[in-house]
Amino acid sequence: MTIIVHHLENSRSQRILWMLEELELPYSIKRYARDPKTMLAPAELKRVHPLGKSPMIQDDGLLIMESGAIVEYLVAKTGRLGAPEDRCNALRYRQYLHYAEGSLMPPLLSLLVVQRLGLLGRPARKPLLAMFSRHLDWLDSELSARPYFAGDELTGADIMMSFPLEAAKARAGLGADRKYIWAWLERIHARPAYQRALKSGGTYAFA
């Protein structure tokens, strides 16, 4: 059965397309454009789920929302891209699977709100960037020891970490001076499955 992906442009759902390509699972896309003024998801997504959020997938009669839950579902479905056998790397896998949304995305979203406030938000930008910089310093040191977040091979942890670090490159000061994060981004962007996902997903501002 083909998985249906409810895909919002320039959103977290791009990483779900990437994962499906890595797993070589058949899927189809229902596309949604952001409101050009508010940049919010359209009302049509609320017909799928009352919260109107993306990504969501439909598979085997199930509707699954939240990126982390989708990643875990796809890992369980295929037995691939999950936690490594090594205990330390398995712990890293679970850590980053949750850290991506639980710790890394909140300051990024705060920076987005501050940016939209214009002059009113300017006083908050510097301390937010300083806080976020600590995350980037730590992540750079983590990737200095291994090519992927949970070891030597790509896992669902890398899928989850892709969107916040791509967004950080676009709007939160992530530059080439964080050479290990930068190399990791180049590594994942060069993967054939990632490139296929870009073609199927359409415009994506953060690649």
Give the domain CATH number at 135: 1.20.1050.10
Distance CA 21, CA 186 (A): 18
* 35 lies in the same domain as 119: no
pLDDT at position 25 is: 98
User: Does residue 207 sit within a domain?
Assistant: no
pLDDT at position 50 is: 92
* 97 lies in the same domain as 131: yes
pLDDT at position 207 is: 73
pLDDT at position 171 is: 84
pLDDT at position 163 is: 96
pLDDT at position 169 is: 93
Query: What 3-state class would DSSP assign to 134?
Result: helix
Number of domains comprising the chain: 2
* 31 lies in the same domain as 116: no
* 69 lies in the same domain as 92: no
* 67 lies in the same domain as 154: no
Residue pair 172/108 in contact by the 8 Å Cβ criterion: yes
- Residue 44 belongs to a domain with what CATH number? 3.40.30.10
* 101 lies in the same domain as 59: no
User: Does residue 206 sit within a domain?
Assistant: no
User: Does residue 23 sit within a domain?
Assistant: yes
* 37 lies in the same domain as 99: no
Place of tokens 């796809």: 74
Domain region containing 95:
87-191
* 18 lies in the same domain as 72: yes
* 91 lies in the same domain as 180: yes
* 114 lies in the same domain as 124: yes
* 77 lies in the same domain as 113: no
Q: How many CB atoms lie within 10 A of CB 37?
A: 6
Residue pair 162/201 in contact by the 8 Å Cβ criterion: no
* 180 lies in the same domain as 95: yes
Q: What is the mean pLDDT of each run of 10 residues along the chain (207 residues)?
A: 92 96 97 84 90 94 97 98 98 98 94 82 85 96 98 98 95 92 98 97 86
pLDDT at position 154 is: 98
pLDDT at position 190 is: 97
User: Does residue 114 sit within a domain?
Assistant: yes
What pTM does this model have? Answer: 0.93
Question: Nearest 5°: CA angle at 38, between 159 and 117?
Answer: 95
